[in-house]
Amino acid sequence: MTITPRAMGVAVDRFDGAAKVRGEARYAYEQPVDRPLYLYPLTAAVATGRIADIDCGAASAEPGVVAVLTYRNATRTAAIEDGELRILQSDEVAFRGQFIGGVVAETSEIARHAVSLVRVDYEERPHDVELREGRGDLRVPREVQPIFPMDTAEGDVDAALASAPVRVDQTYTTAWNNHNPIEPHTTIATWTGDRFTFYLSTQGVNGIQAAVAALFELGPDRVRVISPYVGGAFGSKARPHADVVLAALAARLVPDRPVKFALTRQQMFSQVGYRPPTVQRVRLGADAGGRLVALAHESIEPTSKLQEFAEHSTRATPTMYAAPNRRTRQRLAALDVPTPTIMRAPGEASGMFALESAMDEMAIACGLDPIEFRIRNDAQRHPHFGLPFSSRNLVACLREGARRFGWDGRDPTPGIRRTAGWLVGTGVAAATYPVLRLPGSMATIRVGPDERYTVLIAAADIGTGTWTALSQVAADALGVRVEQIDLRIGDTAYPKASNEGGSSGITSWGSAICEAADRLRDELARHGGAVPADGLEVTAAMPENPHISRYAMHAFGAQFAEVRVHAEIGEVRVRRQLGVFAVGRVVNPKTARSQLLGGMTMGLSMALHEQSVFDPRFAQVVTQDLATYHIASNADVGAVEVHWIDEDDPYVNPMGTKGVGEIGIVGAAAAIANAVHHATGVRVRDLPITLDKLLPAA
């Protein structure tokens, strides 16, 4: 059943706006607690090996130090599968920067200083950190979701390539990127007798609860996790990381005292995951009419030895273009490095840089306009699964974008437009992201005779606007005004919710709320349509979507960019970005626009700036702060236009939403790289596009 939009579609200001602009919204670390203690971590100074000795004497003797934590006095945790979380259980060191202990003290200054007094001796082992094509141990990643097949093959790619009149065969690389939410990962952990309470910055309180409960072998009811506001996440706060475990271990040493723990910016580069670098080879073959006859996309990526994570760079490729002969292939190398994790549009962001750069190269090779070339190769049914799309508006996005951007009449010749010493160019790329629903969400709705509806669900707002948009969904699900909704999220005391991730929040939580609203209507009917004096309460789980097996469900988009490149110096400035998206129903145009805009800007940042430089000698990211790991600053961003087309998709979920959190970053880097080529004639296939790659040779 679909619901009628009344509150949905209205550009409401954020409900938490006033609290945030005054700085009075309390993030995890800022929650008022009594007599807090401060934790500072001790990290491994070798890449691999074992701890031969730890001397905590000087640290313990420091006035104000309450406890020194090492593997020797840490609680033994259960041997769960996720190796990233098994810290302080032995003398082993798995990567440089890994937590091997910590100091708990009365002030943050004392804790940090005392850690520098702990002396650690190591027995170092040689480490293995280099990702190469020729490694003998490359392996196929585990499949995580059936809609992301690891390797796909259709037809005879090699033969089709060999006989194709036009061919492109190029290798593209993307850099190691770190999420770097401006709020670092923070925790306040308290152990009282037999239970934990956490204030924590996370994309999913239930995931944290489950991990801690499993590690410490507690019932989930003895782990409460509260996370009202989250200062950005982008995937780093989706899965539990070792910081939560360290805070919990510390709290166990000092019962009844809240332990406050904030990662430093430097530690954010080794503790909370990252987007792994990729090496991708794309081969395309086209016929004389500009139709793809073959498409091959292969990627290799690193993961850690502790826990597998794959970026799935080729995962969007089988959705994009109709080519009778296709192959995708992903391989992983497990290295002595920190564990990578999901980062905004994992797979699509890196993979679509390669595919959409190659599509631009192919359009040029075919002598076709890149928009026309994409339209010719648009797929009618899902090329891999053979299913019809619940809705597919890639072509509409490309056309609408072309119109708004002023694409018509574009001279494709590279390197010929110049103003005041700057070369000017424009570029386009396609975007896609699947409509994901994560299982496990439930919602409770309570109504009193005053006609106020309390909606409870352990969902998260990481800046996505959940507080506002989910209230709008609830209002329409219940057929009431949004002012009547009192939404409560971010607490395991509420019904379980899936993670804020994969742009699935509104889809998953909203579906559960719609189901609960239906139940409430039934209950009301049973009470003769009137709310009884003591109110009503219902709880419902997200229902199955019967359409899932019948349709392929994806959002699409078109990204445009105009760049200037300094002819002598090579600096790149993105003057203008324009995105048109087909994302189903837009619940709150204001917050949705911000999400798409934020994604596009993060795409610009990925294109021009972001690169964690990993030094293999030390097995460490050496650009581990915001002065050396650059993210786009205000001055790097020009005009950004965001549009969407009306899209009515009755199959995806009752709200008709497809998710807006990730698709904004997809294709943005390719559009910029393609524009750089148009401006200069130089094809940059390795991100980021730094000025050395554009500096004239002579």
Site residues (vs ligand FES, CB under 6 A): 182, 232, 463
Sketch the per residue contact string, 243 through 272, with another protein: x for CB under 8 A, - otherwise.
Answer: -------------------x-xx-------
Q: CA-based angle 494:499:501, to the nearest 5?
A: 150
Shortest distance in whole angstroms from residue 19 CB to another protein: 8
Q: What is the DSSP letter of 622?
A: S
Q: Which residue is nearest to ligand FES (CB)?
A: 182
Q: CA–CA separation, 303 vs 594, rounded Å? A: 32
Shortest distance in whole angstroms from residue 20 CB to another protein: 3
Q: Decide which of another protein, ligand FES, none touches 229; Cβ closer than 5 to 8 Å per partner kind.
A: another protein
> In degrees rounded to 5, what are phi and psi of residue 61?
-75, -15
Q: Is 662 a catalytic residue?
A: yes
Q: CA–CA separation, 205 vs 226, rounded Å? A: 7
Q: Decide which of another protein, ligand FES, none touches 633; Cβ closer than 5 to 8 Å per partner kind.
A: another protein
Q: Which is nearer to ligand FES, 182 or 639 (CB)?
A: 182
Q: Which is nearer to another protein, 218 or 622 (CB)?
A: 622
Decide: is 595 part of the binding site for another protein (CB under 8 A).
yes
Instruction: Give me the residues paired with residue 665 across strands.
Output: none
* Residues from 485 through 504 that contact another protein (CB under 8 A): none
Shortest distance in whole angstroms from residue 113 CB to ligand FES: 19
Q: Quick check: 478 and 452 in contact, CB under 8 A?
A: no
Segments of 567-696 assigned E as strands: 572-582, 614-615, 620-621, 637-644
Decide: is 602 part of the binding site for another protein (CB under 8 A).
yes
Q: Decide which of another protein, ligand FES, none touches 690; Cβ closer than 5 to 8 Å per partner kind.
A: another protein
* Beta strands at 37-43 and 99-105: parallel, antiparallel or unpaired: antiparallel
Q: Which is nearer to another protein, 130 or 221 (CB)?
A: 130
Tell the burial category of 686 from Cβ atoms under 10 Å away from its Cβ (0-12, 13-18, 19+): middle
Q: Which is nearer to ligand FES, 174 or 594 (CB)?
A: 594
* Helices 505-526 and 466-478, axial angle in degrees (round to 10): 30
Shortest distance in whole angstroms from residue 502 CB to another protein: 18
CA separation, residue 93 to residues 52, 117, 258, 265, 274 (Å): 11, 20, 28, 22, 20
Q: What is the DSSP letter of 71?
A: T
Shortest distance in whole angstroms from residue 623 CB to another protein: 6
Shortest distance in whole angstroms from residue 41 CB to another protein: 14
Shortest distance in whole angstroms from residue 594 CB to ligand FES: 9
* Helices 668-680 and 348-366, axial angle in degrees (round to 10): 40
Q: Decide which of ligand FES, another protein, none touches 422; Cβ closer than 5 to 8 Å per partner kind.
A: none
Q: How many residues bind another protein (CB under 8 A)?
A: 94
Shortest distance in whole angstroms from residue 587 CB to another protein: 14
Q: Which is nearer to another protein, 329 or 573 (CB)?
A: 573
Shortest distance in whole angstroms from residue 14 CB to ligand FES: 11
Catalytic site residue from 84, 183, 311, 662: 662
- Contact residues for 525 (Cβ-Cβ < 8 A; gap 6+): none
Considering only 29-37, 141-149, 280-288, 385-393, which stretch makes contact with another protein by CB under 8 A?
29-37
Decide: is 319 part of the binding site for another protein (CB under 8 A).
no
Decide: is 187 part of the binding site for another protein (CB under 8 A).
no
User: Tokens for 406?
Assistant: 């002023």
- The residue among 424, 353, 359 whose CA lies nearest residue 687 is 353
User: Tokens for 510?
Assistant: 């909203």
Decide: is 34 part of the binding site for another protein (CB under 8 A).
no
Q: CA–CA separation, 19 vs 266, rounded Å? A: 29
Q: Quick check: 189 and 255 in contact, CB under 8 A?
A: no
Q: Which is nearer to another protein, 427 or 599 (CB)?
A: 599
Shortest distance in whole angstroms from residue 609 CB to ligand FES: 16
Q: CA-based angle 631:634:638, to the nearest 5?
A: 105
Q: Quick check: 151 and 140 in contact, CB under 8 A?
A: yes
User: Tokens for 10?
Assistant: 């209205």
Backbone Cα Rg of the chain: 26
Q: CA–CA separation, 146 vs 152, rounded Å? A: 12
* Residues from 567 through 586 that contact another protein (CB under 8 A): 568-571, 573
Q: Decide which of ligand FES, another protein, none touches 590; Cβ closer than 5 to 8 Å per partner kind.
A: another protein
Q: Count CA within 13 A, CB hemisphere, residue 606.
A: 35
Sketch the per residue contact string, 665 through 694, with another protein: x for CB under 8 A, - otherwise.
Answer: -------------------------xxx--
Decide: is 623 part of the binding site for another protein (CB under 8 A).
yes
Q: Quick check: 47 and 615 in contact, CB under 8 A?
A: no
- Contact residues for 238 (Cβ-Cβ < 8 A; gap 6+): 203, 204, 207, 341, 342, 499, 500, 501
Q: What is the DSSP letter of 76?
A: P
Shortest distance in whole angstroms from residue 523 CB to another protein: 36
* Residues from 394 through 453 that contact another protein (CB under 8 A): 421
CB atoms within 10 A of CB 643: 16
- Contact residues for 218 (Cβ-Cβ < 8 A; gap 6+): 194, 195, 196, 212
Decide: is 94 part of the binding site for another protein (CB under 8 A).
no
Q: Which is nearer to ligand FES, 172 or 261 (CB)?
A: 261
Among 239, 327, 392, 609, binds another protein (CB under 8 A): 609
CB atoms within 10 A of CB 148: 20
* Residues from 7 through 26 that contact another protein (CB under 8 A): 13-14, 16-26
Decide: is 35 part of the binding site for another protein (CB under 8 A).
no
Decide: is 601 part of the binding site for another protein (CB under 8 A).
yes
* Residues from 106 through 125 that contact another protein (CB under 8 A): 107-110, 112-113, 116
Instruction: Give me the residues paired with residue 643 across strands.
Output: 580
User: Tokens for 122?
Assistant: 């190591």
Among 637, 643, 683, 686, binds another protein (CB under 8 A): 637
Among 67, 230, 352, 516, binds another protein (CB under 8 A): 230
What number of H helices and E strands is found in the chain?
Answer: 15, 26
* Residues from 116 through 175 that contact another protein (CB under 8 A): 116
Decide: is 463 part of the binding site for another protein (CB under 8 A).
yes
Considering only 280-288, 431-439, 461-469, 533-541, which stretch makes contact with another protein by CB under 8 A?
461-469
Q: Which is nearer to another protein, 391 or 466 (CB)?
A: 466
Q: Which residue numbers are catalytic?
A: 662
